[in-house]
Amino acid sequence: MKVAEKTIFYKAVCSEIEIFNQINQLRLPLLLKGPTGSGKSRFIEYMANEVNKTLVTVSCHEETSATDLIGRFIIKGSETVWIDGPLSIAVKNGYILYLDEVAEARPDVIVAIHSLTDHRRELFIDKLGETIRAHSDFLLVASFNPGYQKGFKELKPSTRQRFVALSFDYPKPKIEAEILVNETGIQADIAQKLVAIGTKIRNLTELGLTETVSTRLLVDAAKLINNGLPKRLAVHVAVVEPLTDEQETIQALNDLCDLMI
Ligand code: ADP
């Protein structure tokens, strides 16, 4: 569980800020769809800061259960005490709860959030036999990585339909280069070259990569270059190596990047 920091840089890609503001007014649940490293988490951190709400982030994985979110009894000395989980805390205090990669969580997580995603805006705490009405400021936001990538779980249509959904993708080259400059202070011409490399690799679908170059990887490469690492080496370790373990593909990508940087 982490809380949003102040002064967050986010470069808007289309109408996502306006859409979020509407959603925040209407208290609708929001689903951010898109590949990893495309700015979903950054967006919600930025928006939480803009609307002055506390953001509670839970990174879901295959072991994340409803109990982890709602809370549990723990033994303290000779007593049993109840400890609220991040969802209960957010519901009671009117925070934004961000369930990152919600499709990865156990199915009981989806069951637990159902009554918060419709007109009821309630959380049922089965272990206490209590139903809590959500604070009027409470907002539920989830993210997921659509199933075109191997190894990622799908979200059931009945669950998806409970959310208003916003799609994220890698930004257009001009915007992505601006992001690199803003994030790292790198020179604009190097940022443009890095973005050109990213765009080129994203279009090489024949490589069959499970995941392609994210904005995050380009930001990492830019940080390393800005910190003094030779450009080619920075691209090899920050962009190429994280993408694959296949030696032939690594070699082909390194050759391509060496030409482009
Ligand atoms: P996701 O949550 O989609 O996996 P993140 O939000 O963590 O991705 O984005 C990864 C990194 O990419 C961020 O830390 C940030 O440096 C950069 N980034 C991506 N999109 C944007 C954007 N629109 N504005 C600012 N930074 C961005």
Give residue-wise pLDDT tens across range 37-77.
999 999 999 999 999 999 999 999 999 999 999 999 999 99
| Ligand 1 contacts CB of residue 142 (under 6 A) | no
Report CA torsion sign: 198, 203, 204, 210. Answer: positive
Question: pLDDT band at residue 207, thresholds of 50, 70 and 90?
Answer: confident
Amino acid at 59: S
Tokens of 113: 């959030």
Residue of the CA atom closest to atom 23 of ligand 1: 11
Q: Is the CB of 198 under 6 A from ligand 1?
A: no
Q: Name the H helices within 78-152.
A: 86-93, 107-114
How many residues in total does the chain contain?
261
**Closest C-alpha to 196, from 181, 213, 208, 216:** 213
Could you give the angle at the alpha carbon of 94 between the alpha carbons of 50 and 109, nearest 5°? Answer: 105
Kindly state if the Cβ of 179 falls inside 6 Å of ligand 1.
yes
Q: Is 33 in the pocket of ligand 1 (CB under 6 A)?
A: no
User: Ligand 1 mean position to 76 CA, how many Å?
Assistant: 41
Share of the chain above pLDDT 90, in %: 88
Q: In which band, very low, low, confident or very high, does the pLDDT at 150 lie, cut at 50, 70 and 90?
A: low
In the chain, domain spans:
2-167, 173-260
Fold of 2-167: Rossmann fold (3.40.50)
Please check whether residue 86 is in contact with residue 93, taking contact to mean a CB–CB distance below 8 angstroms.
no
